[in-house]
Structure 1
């Protein structure tokens, strides 16, 4: 609102709620002068507090969303959405059962697999790993694996044998494409002296990099037939891996898959297998939201303190305005505008700062890492090779509305106090 608009209202003799006169007076009260400079300092601090609070909430919630989405996409990209396993035994007639499960509406793929834990060895190092035996066509049907082959190829894996290992495992063991990796499994032959471990050497035919350090360091893929012989499952497989159209609604498929599989099998979902992991993420996300909301509350309290001081400093001006005909509503709106403008501008600035930060978060991470000389967001700790951020429009809207609500609520008491000021008492000692 400009002074020209104020003079137009004065000439016409009309004054409307939240009109030019009230805006002009409110903005003048927020300007820094020598006597009330402390009020402007508090206003600036309140503005910065709201801006940083809104930006921090948007950034943290976006990073938590991106973290969950990236982990979920990688977990479901390399694991099935649902598993059918035999109760205490391997599944022998798996091709027939797989054909029946493919007829269930909503199921997109069914793959037999054999898996087991092993020790991996090389001339330079050793460690634990999870071996997963699958058909070549099923491995190629997983885009996360097929599109992230760093060296070698999955072609001819069924025909010529060999294994595919993660890049971190190859690096830890000091192995390259074409080298042999030794696998040692406890599922060996039974002898009079106990079970002898099964040992086998396999050529590395492909090296993949999924972007999730845990999988890149611990997964080994081999042909289904070789895995059956290595783990001594005879003609059976460990489980049937199922993929559906909508993994978020996986519970809708459990009853149908269980009916198709029969009573001799049990069904587990990805939510059951990773329940504790994603529950911990959700709890952490909620706690972070509550803690960071305190920043907005503190900034709102700064608005209250700043306006209370402004009302006290402008007591004489308020009394003069009241004696000249200004109503209580006019005085209340003047101070409401003064406080609310800080909240609105701070919220908009925080919204823009948060979006810019989220859109460039990986570049900023790399810059801060190079500046500090340390690796921020280590893949060994956070499982991902890059920092993700996914902005949720609904959450951003909720943060903005909450900041505006707190800002508006913070102005009500000081504005009411200014409107309730008695002109006689204010001018008595002037």
Structure 2
């Protein structure tokens, strides 16, 4: 029975090759310069990997947060009536909620207006909703900072965002004046509609667009304000004559209110193509449905392009660090030419020499990658805390919400993306070792030792 070769152990690499590669990784006085280059290469790879993880995690969090806020207040589908007056909105809403896969449906009145206080004015989007429909929007219902939704449907008050309240200098109970040009018709034309309402609630959903632009009203108050109603003669009642009293006229007519649109929330937001036909069939009236992908197509397409571009650009950091592995190994091979020659004369094969330098270069990349992974994950998980600390320390606003739409810096570490980054860094590190290792394996021991 023969024993295993002392220079070769079972497996792809021998103990001898690991030993030699380990000695080359440890610094000696005469190899200090090469060791410094190797250390800088490790730092470069670590910074590249950490930067990639942090940036991709922040972009993931930014997209998820925006998507959650947008879809938390706006439905996955929005249905608009065609031609006919939308007076049966409550029945349509109830039928839509009966569709398989639908979580909730809401009806609303919407219009643009100018709001003013004694301090300032601002253009806003008015949305009228009943308390039952508001409760179907947990993001809005639970985001009230001051005031509340008590007796919402029976009050003629409004709920405004925290940023709009700060801009107008308003608090709970303060009057807010709403102005729209589409008021009552007179012989001289249309007059502005101007009404004041008390502020019943101030909310903060964490998204600048909603907190500074939206004003919510009870749906009946919004229908009256925007004149979304018509007075119809009751069935079986004769037309009142010109001498009829106001009581007789009121008894002869009924007021029928209309809505602007309905919104539908589905269990699977990505299954919009499959859900559209059942929704259209369930309405029982002509309606056009648009999904959230169509409404936000340009925005989210831009985000996706930005993600790809940022990943490509930041990958260049890792690629440059991988090229540094080549330069450090080339210098190491040149410095160790006599050692290579001695190893060859002692019986080491060309493949063994190549494996030694592959181990050396890959170890540099592996250590840098692991260090970058740890640093990147720590920074990504604490992105908002770090942003707040830097902002407070330097006295500057990093990622201002007016520009980035969100009031905080979100971050979500995606294990799949992190794995892709790690595999890419390790693969580049290994590929960078092949040429210097191949060059080392080509050394002729006779030529290398001739002048020693």
Query: Normalization by structure 2: what TM-score?
Result: 0.90
Please give the alpha-carbon distance, in whole angstroms, between the structure 2 residues aligned to 1:13 and 1:247. Answer: 63
Which of 89, 111, 115 does residue 110 from structure 2 map onto?
115
Residue 125 of structure 2: aligned partner: 130
Verify: 1:191 aligned to 2:213, yes or no. Answer: no
CA RMSD of aligned residues (A): 1.5
Aligned 8 A contact 2:92 2:284 in 1: no
Give unpaired runs (5+ residues) of structure 1: 1-9
Query: Normalization by structure 1: what TM-score?
Result: 0.95
Verify: 1:13 aligned to 2:6, yes or no. Answer: yes
Change (3 A) 1:99 1:335: same
TM-superposed CA distance for 1:278, in Å, is 1.1
TM-superposed CA distance for 1:34, in Å, is 3.4
Verify: 1:79 aligned to 2:74, yes or no. Answer: yes
TM-superposed CA distance for 1:70, in Å, is 0.7
Which of 285, 304, 307 does residue 329 from structure 2 map onto?
307
Residue 425 of structure 2: aligned partner: 403
Aligned 8 A contact 1:86 1:265 in 2: yes
Verify: 1:266 aligned to 2:288, yes or no. Answer: yes
Aligned 8 A contact 1:84 1:261 in 2: no
Give unpaired runs (5+ residues) of structure 2: 230-256
Which of 339, 344, 354 does residue 366 from structure 2 map onto?
344
- Secondary structure of the residue aligned to 1:240 is strand
Please give the alpha-carbon distance, in whole angstroms, between the structure 1 residues aligned to 2:6 and 2:306. Answer: 58
TM-superposed CA distance for 1:311, in Å, is 0.7
Q: How does 1:30-429 map to 2 (within 5 A)?
A: 30-88=25-83, 90-234=85-229, 235-261=257-283, 264-429=286-451
Please give the alpha-carbon distance, in whole angstroms, between the structure 1 residues aligned to 2:447 and 2:276. Answer: 75
Aligned 8 A contact 2:37 2:328 in 1: yes
- Secondary structure of the residue aligned to 2:103 is strand
Aligned 8 A contact 1:90 1:233 in 2: no
Which of 22, 27, 34 does residue 27 from structure 1 map onto?
22
Stretch of structure 1 that moved more, 417-426 or 88-97 = 88-97
TM-superposed CA distance for 1:154, in Å, is 0.6
Please give the alpha-carbon distance, in whole angstroms, between the structure 1 residues aligned to 2:18 and 2:292. Answer: 57
- Secondary structure of the residue aligned to 1:35 is helix
Stretch of structure 1 that moved more, 174-183 or 260-269 = 260-269
Please give the alpha-carbon distance, in whole angstroms, between the structure 1 residues aligned to 2:91 and 2:64. Answer: 35
Please give the alpha-carbon distance, in whole angstroms, between the structure 2 residues aligned to 1:152 and 1:238. Answer: 27
